[in-house]
Chain A
Amino acid sequence: MSHFTLAASAKAFEQMFTLVRDNLKVSKSDNGSWGPFTWSYDVQFHLEDGTIQLNDDGTVEIKHLDVVWDKLKFQICFNLPGFCVGGWCIVPDPFDNCWVSLPKICIGGPICLPIDLSGIVSEVDDLKANLVAKYFVDPGRPAGVSDLTAEFLGKTNKWNVFLNPVFVDVLPIDVPATIENLLETAFKQAIENAFSWLPDWAWSLLWDILGPLLDLLKAILGIAEDIQNWVEDLLNSIFNLAALIETAIADYFASQNPLFSIDDPYPIMDGDPSHNPIPVKIPLRDLGATVNSEEMVVTANIGA
Chain B
Amino acid sequence: MNSAAQPYLFNQLGLDSGSLTMLGTIVHQMSEPGEYRGVSLRNDQREAVFYVTVEKGSAINQVNIDLATLAEPSGQASTCGCASSQAGTRHFTLAAKGYALYHVSGGPGGFALHVGPSAETPQPREFDSVELKGGDLFVATLLRPGIYSVRNLALKGPAKAVGEIDVAYPARGKTAYQPPQAIRVESTADGFRPGKIKLHALQGCIFVCQTPSRIKIELTRPHDPPSESKAGPLSQSKRRAK
Contacts and interface: CB of A to CB of B under 8 A. Distances in A.
B76 to A, nearest CB: 17
A99 B232 contact: no
Given A90-B27, A91-B27, A204-B225, A105 B5 contact: yes
A167 B220 CA distance: 75
Interface string B211-239: 00000000000100110111011101100
Interface stretch (A43-51, A68-76, A205-213): A205-213
B2 A210 contact: no
A63 B103 CA distance: 69
Interface stretch (B38-46, B84-92, B124-132, B201-209): B201-209
B196 to A, nearest CB: 22
A202 B137 contact: no
A35 B137 CA distance: 42
A155 B202 CA distance: 79
A213 B237 contact: yes
Interface in B98-156: 99, 101, 103, 105-106, 137, 139, 141, 143-145
A92 B230 CA distance: 38
B1 A201 contact: no
A194 interface: yes
A16 interface: no
Most B Cβ at <10 Å: residue of A99, A109, A201, A215: A201
B174 interface: yes
A120 interface: no
Contacts of B144: 201-202
A211 B25 contact: no
A107 interface: yes
A194 B237 CA distance: 21
A201 B66 CA distance: 28
A109 B175 contact: no
A88 B202 CA distance: 11
B234 A105 contact: no
Contacts of A211: 173, 175-177, 233
B11 to A, nearest CB: 7
A100 B230 contact: no
B233 A85 contact: no
B240 A212 contact: yes
A105 B2 contact: yes
Interface in B161-179: 169-170, 172-177
Interface in A184-237: 184-185, 188, 192, 194, 197-205, 207-216
Contacts of B103: 102-103
Contact of B143 (A192, A205, A213): A205
Given A90-B182, A105-B9, A203-B225, A100 B99 contact: yes
Given A85-B9, A199-B11, A212-B237, A90 B225 contact: no
Interface string A167-190: 000000000000000001100100
A137 interface: no
Interface residues of B, number: 53
Most A Cβ at <10 Å: residue of B105, B106, B174, B202: B202
Interface residues of A, number: 40
A199 B10 contact: yes
Most B Cβ at <10 Å: residue of A102, A106, A192, A216: A102
Contacts of A303: none
B99 A185 contact: no
B27 A184 contact: no
A108 B2 CA distance: 7
A184 B231 CA distance: 13
Nearest to A212: B237
A100 B62 contact: yes
A274 B110 CA distance: 104
A101 interface: yes
B61 A99 contact: yes
B58 interface: no
Contact of A85 (B11, B27, B141, B206): B141
A210 B176 contact: yes
5 contacts: A88-B182, A204-B226, A205-B170, A212-B236, A213-B233
Interface of B: 1-2, 5-7, 9-11, 22-23, 25, 27, 61-62, 64, 66, 99, 101, 103, 105-106, 137, 139, 141, 143-145, 169-170, 172-177, 181-182, 201-202, 204, 206, 222, 225-226, 228-230, 232-234, 236-237, 240
Q: Which 6 pairs across A and B sit closest by C-beta, in order of nearness? A: A211-B176, A204-B229, A109-B1, A208-B177, A204-B225, A212-B237
